[in-house]
């Protein structure tokens, strides 16, 4: 329906998995009325993007004029958990960490810089179509402005048109690659060994090292086809199709970075993964191995402590706690070990301040976070761009939700693309096994891109 809505819509944040509290809402955002950006390589005297974003949010009503969201939702017959009433979407590249922690010197994201893709984007959307997967309802909302009402009408028209074509084959075809350039193995093995040197020297306890896969889509392959293929093969609760003139981000992320609602902040780190097995008994054995593995549990607890510390910087003293500890979330391709950490956010602390405290997520940097990012910048020698950055929204009634951009693809306007895979390196990591893990993690995205077939079908492979 995003394509059918045309100029009246911009981005789609979609919960593709079925059931559970993480998968209740999908949001189709209207066209944007306001846009803030940070350039790919900002000058030294550039204004802070997050400060400008906060100032723009503060100008919007009714966020800061005592708007009683719960009362208004009740009068409209909307559930108390309703996520979006008009407001902002945002994108933060991984390199935005250097604005939050100015001591960091992070390399630029080259493919994004070539197309002018901003390092950060915030856009104001007066209207949205929200799907409640629990009730099956589609609800169009707007911010009360004349512009919002007009955009809402466009979304309704797109919804009606989508209903007329329901049941027809709306697929945009299979995805094919013209070129595929996997990362070389030897450099990654050498970098794993270098990380282990830092571990033995006591610099860090764990670091999440990654490398990039580059490709070019075959002529005629659309970004919609890529999004549909990725979500079909890797359904996830924090999927997104994010469209900008300078490029697009297509994501099937399973991981929440931060949610803020009703004075409560929560982050949900994933640390620990096993591939699924088609045999049910073997699949259950893999779950049990994941839950019982002492190394996985030790790393997970370490990352919980990191996230508790991040939330503790902005939450009420003594309020941060773990309310879900090492539960298993199962997806089409993998099982994940997940915990949920929550805290009480003071009324004086904005959702964006909480976002800055948690960004980027510790599960994709390592511990301690800042030193890990310094080491990763030295060894990876390339900007990550969207990878391990975040997409999210901030509603006019103060609710924020955001993902961590893993299992995500960046597409430039000329059909070139990039995605990254990585893994947590610890003292006893074996370089060859760590390299193999990154290839295994790439399989879901490669399959969605047609890259698994491309490796054996004559597509030029670098």
Peptide bond into 307 cis (omega under 30): no
How do the domains of the chain map onto residue ranges? 2-263+347-454
94 contact partners, CB below 8 Å, separation of at least 6: 106, 109, 360, 383, 384, 385, 386, 387, 388, 389
Q: What is the pLDDT of residues 247-258, one digit of tens each?
A: 999 999 999 999
Average of per-residue pLDDT across 395-403: 95
Q: Which residues pair with 131 in a beta bridge?
A: 26, 138
Kindly report, residue by residue over 296-342, the tens digit of the pLDDT.
888 899 999 999 999 999 999 999 999 999 999 988 888 889 999 99
Q: What is the pLDDT of residue 66?
A: 44
Please give the positions annotated as active site. Answer: 336, 363, 387, 407, 424
Tell me the β-bridge partners of 424: 208
Q: What is the mean pLDDT of residues 410-436?
A: 95
Q: What is the mean pLDDT of residues 275-299?
A: 90
> Which tens digits make up the pLDDT trace of 202-216?
999 999 999 999 999
Instruction: Please list, residue by residue across 219-229, b when 16 or more beta carbons sit within 10 angstroms of its beta carbon and e when fewer do.
Output: eebebbbbbbb
Give the homologous superfamily in CATH for domain 2-263+347-454: Anthranilate synthase (3.60.120.10)
Tokens 């895979």 locate to 421
Give the tens place of pLDDT for each residue, 387-398: 999 999 999 999
CA-to-CA distance for 281 and 343, rounded, in angstroms?
38
Strand residues in 167-269 grouped as ranges (E): 177-181, 206-217, 238-244, 247-253, 256-261, 264-268
In contact, 438 and 419? CB cutoff 8 Å: no
User: How do residues 166-191 score in pLDDT, each as one tens digit?
Assistant: 555 555 678 999 999 999 999 999 99
Burial class (CB in 10 A: 0-12, 13-18, 19+), 138: middle
- Give the model's pLDDT for residue 20: 73
317 vs 343: CA distance, rounded Å: 9
The Cα 198–Cα 194 span in angstroms is 7
């Amino acid at each position: 329906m995003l394509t059918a809505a045309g100029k009246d819509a911009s981005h789609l944040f979609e919960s593709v998995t079925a059931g559970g509290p993480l998968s209740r809402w999908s949001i189709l955002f209207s066209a944007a009325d306001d846009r803030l950006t940070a350039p790919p390589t900002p000058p030294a005297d550039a204004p802070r993007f997050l400060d400008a974003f906060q100032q723009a949010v503060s100008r919007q009503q009714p966020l800061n004029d005592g708007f009683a969201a719960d009362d208004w939702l009740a009068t409209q017959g909307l559930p108390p958990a309703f996520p979006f009433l008009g407001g902002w979407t945002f994108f933060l590249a991984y390199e935005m960490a250097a604005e939050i922690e100015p001591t960091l010197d992070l390399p630029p994201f080259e493919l994004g810089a070539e197309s002018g893709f901003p390092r950060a984007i915030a856009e104001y959307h007066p209207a949205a179509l929200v799907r409640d997967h629990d009730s099956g309802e589609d609800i169009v909302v707007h911010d009360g402005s004349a512009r919002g009402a007009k955009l809402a009408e466009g979304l309704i028209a797109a919804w009606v048109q989508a209903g007329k074509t329901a049941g027809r084959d709306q697929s945009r075809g299979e995805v094919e690659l013209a070129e595929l350039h996997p990362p070389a193995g030897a450099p990654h093995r050498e970098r794993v060994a270098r990380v282990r040197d830092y571990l033995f020297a006591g610099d860090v306890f764990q670091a999440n090292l990654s490398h990039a896969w580059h490709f070019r889509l075959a002529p005629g392959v659309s970004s919609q086809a890529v999004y549909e293929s990725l979500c079909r093969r890797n359904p996830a609760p924090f999927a997104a199709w994010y469209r900008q003139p300078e490029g697009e981000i297509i994501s099937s992320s399973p991981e929440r970075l931060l949610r803020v609602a009703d004075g409560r902040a929560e982050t949900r780190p994933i640390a620990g993964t096993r591939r699924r097995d088609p045999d049910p008994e073997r699949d259950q054995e893999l779950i049990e191995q994941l839950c019982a593995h002492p190394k996985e549990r030790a790393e997970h607890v370490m990352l919980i402590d990191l996230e508790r510390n991040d939330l503790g910087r902005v939450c009420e003293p003594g309020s941060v706690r773990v309310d879900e500890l090492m539960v298993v979330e199962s997806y089409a391709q993998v099982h994940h070990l997940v915990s949920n950490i929550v805290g009480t956010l003071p009324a004086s602390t904005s959702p964006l301040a909480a976002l800055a405290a948690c960004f980027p997520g510790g599960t994709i940097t390592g511990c301690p976070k800042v030193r890990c990012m310094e080491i990763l910048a030295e060894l990876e020698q390339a900007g990550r761009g969207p990878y391990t950055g975040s997409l999210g929204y901030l509603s006019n009634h103060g609710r924020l939700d955001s993902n961590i951009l893993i299992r995500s693809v960046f597409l430039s306007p000329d059909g070139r693309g990039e995605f990254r895979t990585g893994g947590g390196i610890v003292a006893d990591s074996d370089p060859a096994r760590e390299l193999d893990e990154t290839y295994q993690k790439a399989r879901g995205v490669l399959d969605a891109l047609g890259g698994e077939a491309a490796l054996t079908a004559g597509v030029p492979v670098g």
